[in-house]
Amino acid sequence: MKHILTICVLVFSTFIFSQNNQLVEIETNDGNIFLGTIIEENEDGYTLKTQDGIQISVPISYVKNVSIIETAEVEGQVWRADPNKSMYLFAPSAFPIEKQKVYCRDFCLVFPSYNRGFGNNFSLQAGAFVFPGMQFDNIPVVLSGKFSLPQIGPARLASGMMYVSVPGQSTSFGAGFAFGSATFGNRFTHFTASLGWGYFRDENEWDFAEKPILVLASNVRVTNSFAVVAEYWLPPEVDDPTNLPIAISGRFIGRRFAVDVGGFFTKDMEGIPFPLINFTYHLK
């Protein structure tokens, strides 16, 4: 738990370095990216003013895409918000994916998923756990949905459900979580506490756990292209919570992609930790 408290301090201490702002990003057909504020828009194109005060005219015929992105000014530099704000390593935050945004993700090379935002509140994930040698008919299919409430100050709440179905020849078995999450922070640095009630399904019989799992997670932005992400899962009735592993990863952030590289650490660990690697690519 000492590690978790350290992470919490880091999370809230970094809030003072971020001043949220929205800028317009214009992508042209030849791959150029312009970031700034639109000062004029007409049928011929856009006039954009950059953070340095430079005005750029972009003809409409050259424009491939126009989008609004969250930014922050840190020590004179413009940082982009992490496009993966809706997820940590495996646990969700209360942030939604947002309207019409789509990304594909591969967790530890065994859980590829498709993720999409519907409106600015509902997020959907569809994926599967794929292990070497597993028959196609026995691949566990994953569906999860999350509804995020509007943000109030630095806080946001969300609730959702994950379902993992394992079809068989004569029976249908499934499991999952019903969860609630509270996220504190902004799109750059945030901390989330979640409670999840596990359940099992055997055909038409459903069995929910009486006590929840507690999940603590954080995303601490360090530079424009790097963040530190951590997760800690605490099941109920554990004798010594300090013996449980904590997942810590460095997140390398690009404009449309992110890569998490880290491991699972324990207090009595010897040698190299069990590795953790995630890939995320944003389609739009």
Residue-wise pLDDT for 162-175, tens only, equals 999 876 655 677 88
Q: How confident is the model at residue 140 (pLDDT cuts 50, 70, 90)?
A: confident
Residue-wise pLDDT for 79-108, tens only, equals 888 888 899 999 999 999 988 889 999 887
82/13: higher pLDDT: 82
Read off the pTM. Answer: 0.81
State the CB neighbour count (10 A cutoff) for residue 75. 6
Domains of the chain with bracketed CATH: 20-80 (2.30.30.100), 81-282 (2.40.160)
- Could you say which DSSP state residue 2 is in? H
Q: Coil, helix or strand for 106?
A: strand
8 Å CB contact between 189 and 11? yes
Q: What pLDDT sits at residue 17?
A: 45
Distance CA 15, CA 37 (A): 24
Residue-wise pLDDT for 235-269, tens only, equals 998 888 888 999 999 999 988 889 999 999 988 88
Residue-wise pLDDT for 154-210, tens only, equals 899 999 999 998 766 556 778 898 999 999 998 889 999 999 999 988 878 888 999
**209: burial class by Cβ within 10 Å (0-12, 13-18, 19+)?**
middle
